[in-house]
Every structure is written in C-alpha cells, then in structure tokens.
Amino acid sequence: MKKILVATEKPFAPIAVDGIRRVIDQAGFEFALLEKYTSKEQFKEAVQTAHALIIRSDKVDREILEAASNLAIVVRAGAGYDNIDLQAATDHQVVAMNTPGQNSNAVAELALGFMVMMARNNYNGSAGTELSGKKIGIHAYGNVGRLVGKIAKGFGMEVFAFDPFVDASVIEADGVTVLSSVEELYKTCQYISLHIPANDKTKQSINYELLMSMPHGATLVNTARKEVIHEDDLLRVMSERKDFRYATDIAPDCLQQLIQEHPGKFFATPKKMGAQTEEANINAGIAAANQIVDYFTTGNTRFKVNN
C-alpha cells in the first residue's frame, strides 16, 4: 500500500489535516504524519518508508531524497518551491509539484494588513495615514499579486504592477496600470508589495537604488521571501530615510539590528504566517493530497515543477 507522509515543521490546522487524511483514506492509501519535528534526523527517518510526501516550507534536499528510497512524488502544499532541490528530485526520479493559488488569498490579506499597520504607526496611538488614494505597486502579478490588487482597490488605492512574465493585457483587464520596468514601479509607488520568487535572478535584487527612489512615506511589504532583499542596503535606506517603513512575513537575518535601530518603522511576524489560515491550509493541503492520488492513479503531472 502506498504510504503518504505529511511532514510539516509548521503544522497545518487540524481541520486541514483531517481533510488530507480523508482524501488519502478514501483512495485506499496509508496516511502518516510528522509534525513539529525538531531535527533533520527525524525527517530523514520518517521519509524512509514514504512513497509520497506533502510538505510546506520544509527543506527537501539531496540528503532527504537519498534517505527516501521509496519516494515517487513530493508536493509542496503552497506556491514557492525554492525549498525543494529540484535537480536532486529529478536525479532520484521523484516528481516535484506545487499547488499554485491555493493559499494566495491568505497571503494577500496579510499583505494589506501589514500596510494598514505601517500606515497607523504600528498602532502606537499617534496619528497615522490612510491607504485610500495612495499608489501601490505590485511587484510580480501572480496569484497573490493579483489578489493584493483586488483588495487594495477596495481600500481606494491606485494599483500599478510590473511583471515581465505576465502579458500586459491580462493585468490591464483587472483595471491595473502596467509599468514597464521595476525602476518605474518603485519610483511611482509609495507602497510596494513583493511577490517575486527567490531565484538566482531575484536574490538581493531589492536594493538601495530601488528603495531610495520610492516616494515620500515609502512602505515596503514583503510576504514573498527574505532572500530577495539586499539587507545591507535595506539597513542603509532605513538609516538614511526617516520616512521608510518595512513590514515582512519572513524574519530577516538583520532582525536584531532592525529591532534595535528602527523600532516603530519595522515589523516582522515571529514565524512566517502568510499562508497560516484554516482556509489556506485546507485548500493547499487537500489539493496536495488530491494531486498525489491523481498521480498514482492516472499519472497526471499537471503541476510538476521539475524536469
């Protein structure tokens, strides 16, 4: 019998785990659960007998894949799959998939929540500002970016986007103004919401020049990945610009310095929680389970991300 392991250092909501278990039971497969593991050894041991794996931001590297000698498929219940060594998966003939769009609304809601929090000075009681009438730039118009634009319009914001991989007509159809370069986006918008993946091209790409070019009252919101920020540049910008604010869902390496030097202009969640809602967990977890069942029963590889 095929064994499907859910391995999540940061657990899904119990209601989502129940849903995943139901899908697996109904398909006649075996369900296994490893939550809140504290060492790689525990993960390696659990994966040894698994034929399929459901993960979140859990790192699936070559060592894990080597330990997983029965593994045929790993599904990242979420959008970003930079936590999977895709080459190693391919080398071990393991199919890697994600579940695009399933947790996007939760992340988009958090991004707007961060903007309100920054606009109201971290709720410190002083007079803040409003989002209405402000310009927001969506940096990458994927599933999350698109929803951020939709919610931002509800706040009365003017929405702009830059995404070289999405046809301008698709963005314009949502009533969003397309800008032709990343420089133009940062120069135009007081609020920037980051939705770029972390890869060789994007790592450390959010730099001094871009951040310094933002209009007065600049607020950068990062619900994407910490690696896309050039942290030394961010620190420099925050020192040079008293009006600059940064809110992030992914604690930066320079966290302590930001807390000490820029209190009130900065916020980071204690643990990444953009996708941490019951709804997102249910959607992404059950989609992952269904994709695995479908792969084993019909060979469907629709959401495959490796070669």
Q: According to the binding rule CB under 6 A, does residue 103 interact with ligand 3PG?
A: yes
Using CB under 6 A, which of the segments 15-23, 153-161, 267-275, 293-301 binds ligand 3PG? 267-275
- Least distance to ligand 3PG from the beta carbon of 133, Å? 30
- Least distance to ligand 3PG from the beta carbon of 139, Å? 15
Q: Strand, helix or coil at 54?
A: strand
Q: According to the binding rule CB under 6 A, does residue 80 interact with ligand 3PG?
A: yes
Q: Which one of residues 19, 52, 57, 160 is an interface residue with ligand 3PG (CB under 6 A)?
A: 57
Among 237, 235, 193, which residue's Cα sits nearest to residue 211? 237
Q: Which one of residues 272, 282, 287, 295 is an interface residue with ligand 3PG (CB under 6 A)?
A: 272
Per the CB < 8 A criterion, the answer to whether 249 and 226 are in contact is: no
Q: Which two tokens stand for residue 292?
A: 């695995």
Nearer to ligand 3PG, 46 or 235 (CB): 46
Place of tokens 């986006």: 185
Using CB under 6 A, which of the segments 21-29, 76-84, 173-181, 240-248 binds ligand 3PG? 76-84
Nearer to ligand 3PG, 58 or 158 (CB): 58
Among 73, 91, 79, 94, which residue's Cα sits nearest to residue 297? 73
- Least distance to ligand 3PG from the beta carbon of 195, Å? 10
Tell me phi and psi for residue 221, to 5 degrees.
-120, 125
| Secondary structure element (H or E) that encloses residue 194, with its range | strand 191-194
Euclidean distance between CA atoms 200 and 106, whole angstroms? 27
Residue 1: CB atoms within 10 A of its CB come to: 7
Amino acid at residue number 10: K
- Least distance to ligand 3PG from the beta carbon of 169, Å? 27
Q: According to the binding rule CB under 6 A, does residue 274 interact with ligand 3PG?
A: yes
Task: Kindly list the residues in this chain that would bind ligand 3PG in the complex (CB under 6 A).
Answer: 10, 56-57, 78-80, 103, 272, 274-276
